[in-house]
């Protein structure tokens, strides 16, 4: 889903605004951002400024899972967040994403463990 409404402040998300986007994907070493990206991969998107900044820590390679702490290795199914500028339609992947990811978790480690974290970000749990 690609809501143009921020789930946290309920305000519109305009092109070129900084957004925090959470999506699923496949990690392929040595690329910084996961592959398998499509509109369906997006879990949620909100203004970067609406996210509690302390909860966003930029990780550079090698990534470690926030759930189990293990390193993320090739072809793992992951859930990850990026911060970047919202592109103009029809583009959906944020631009100027920088050099890492904000939040990385194995899909298998996502379930059930992150309710508090998600609530603090304002994500649906
Ligand atoms: Zn917002
Ligand atoms: Zn894990």
Percent of the chain with pLDDT over 90: 23
Nearest to 44 by CA among 81, 9, 75, 12: 81
| Confidence check: pLDDT of 77 > 60 | yes
Inter-residue contact 65 to 106 (CB < 8 Å): yes
24-33, 73-82, 114-123, range with greatest mean pLDDT: 73-82
CA of 18 to the centre of ligand 2 (A): 28
Residue 61, pLDDT > 70, answer yes
- Pick the more confident residue, 122 or 18: 18
What stretches of the chain show up as alpha helix (H) in DSSP? 107-110, 115-121
Residue 4's contacts (CB-CB under 8 Å, 6 or more residues apart) are 12, 13
Average pLDDT (105-119) is: 72
The Å distance, Cα 119 to ligand 1 centre, comes to 14
Domain ranges, ordered by start, for the chain: 18-121
* pLDDT surpasses 90 at 13: yes
- Using CA atoms, how far apart are residues 13 and 3, in angstroms rounded to an integer? 8
How far is the centre of ligand 2, averaged over its atoms, from the C-alpha of 80 (Å)?
12
* Confidence check: pLDDT of 63 > 80: yes
């Amino acid at each position: 889903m690609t809501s143009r409404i921020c789930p946290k402040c309920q305000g519109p998300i305009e092109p070129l605004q900084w957004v925090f986007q959470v999506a699923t994907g496949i990690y392929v070493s040595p690329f910084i951002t996961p592959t398998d990206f499509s509109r369906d991969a997006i879990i949620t998107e909100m203004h970067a400024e609406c996210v509690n900044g302390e909860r966003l820590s930029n990780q550079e390679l090698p990534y470690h899972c926030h759930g189990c702490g293990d390193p993320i290795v090739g072809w793992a199914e992951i859930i990850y967040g990026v911060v970047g500028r919202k592109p103009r339609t029809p583009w959906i992947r944020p631009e100027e994403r920088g050099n890492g990811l904000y939040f990385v978790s194995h899909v298998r480690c996502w379930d059930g463990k992150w309710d508090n974290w998600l609530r603090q970000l304002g994500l649906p749990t």
